Amino acid sequence: MRVQKAFAPWKPARCAHHRDGGIRAACRDAGVRLWRYLSIVDDCRRVFDWIERQSEPHELIDGVPVSIMAGARQSHNVATTNIVVALVLSAKTKGCRATSSDTAVRTGQYGVRYPDVVVDCGPPDPSAKEAARPTVVVEVSSPGTLAIDLTDRIDEYQAHEDIQVIMLVEPDVISVKVYRRDVHGLWTTEKYDDVEQSVDLPEVNSSIRLRDVYDTLEPKSRPPR
């Protein structure tokens, strides 16, 4: 997860012709947020096309574009790569694909997030820009984003009906927190703080060792609580 900075909502200059004049008027309203605008009028430019044209990557939070500042630390990038490598082959046995932060996940009607790792178990589509059925999402926290990861993102992911497992990884401290949806649809929490432990992920035919998550890194042990 990279540091975010606020970004003013994108305001459409105009709408394509539409049979409903009321909707056209709503689209011209400067207060209409990007995602809401695009969800109303499907013949205006798509949100992912807009995101791709920006000089910086963006997420969409409640319809408001927020730029994601690049330049994550090496520990963040190494941990992210280690997790993808640990998941990619085993997830494939269940018809799932493990990808890194270029795969979008829709969060609610007006949101788009880019988790650090996504395991997508939906139908494959080489041209897709978003996960069809995100089953596992992983956020590798940075010091400035841990509070955000623990609040807004977790809430959004838990509201997504397809997501079964959320992993929150701290790259500089041996700490992995797992949120898992049980058979009743309730969320349980698991904590791991020993490199000899493994996180079982039967949802995607996988198991990931903390030793593999932190491979080549030198994380500190979490202080006793």
pLDDT at 79: 96
Strand partners, 178: 167, 190
The residue extents of the domains of the chain are: 4-68, 74-213
pLDDT at 182: 96
Contact residues for 87 (Cβ-Cβ < 8 A; gap 6+): 98, 117, 119, 136, 201, 204, 206, 208
Distance of alpha carbon 153 from alpha carbon 61, whole angstroms? 10
pLDDT at 110: 76
pTM of the model: 0.77
CATH architecture of 74-213: Alpha-Beta Complex (3.90)
* Strand-strand pairing, 134-140 and 165-170: parallel
pLDDT at 16: 37
Distance of alpha carbon 41 from alpha carbon 15, whole angstroms? 8
- Residues 174/210, Cβ–Cβ less than 8 Å: yes
Sites in the chain below the pLDDT cut of 70: 1-57, 69-71, 143-149, 225
Distance of alpha carbon 10 from alpha carbon 213, whole angstroms? 38
pLDDT at 156: 93
Residue type, 27: C
Q: For 178-206, what is each residue's pLDDT tens digit?
A: 999 999 999 999 999 999 999 999 999 99
DSSP-derived secondary structure for 91-145: HHTTT-EEE-TTSBEE-STT-EE--SEEEE-S---TT-SB-SSEEEEEEE--TTT
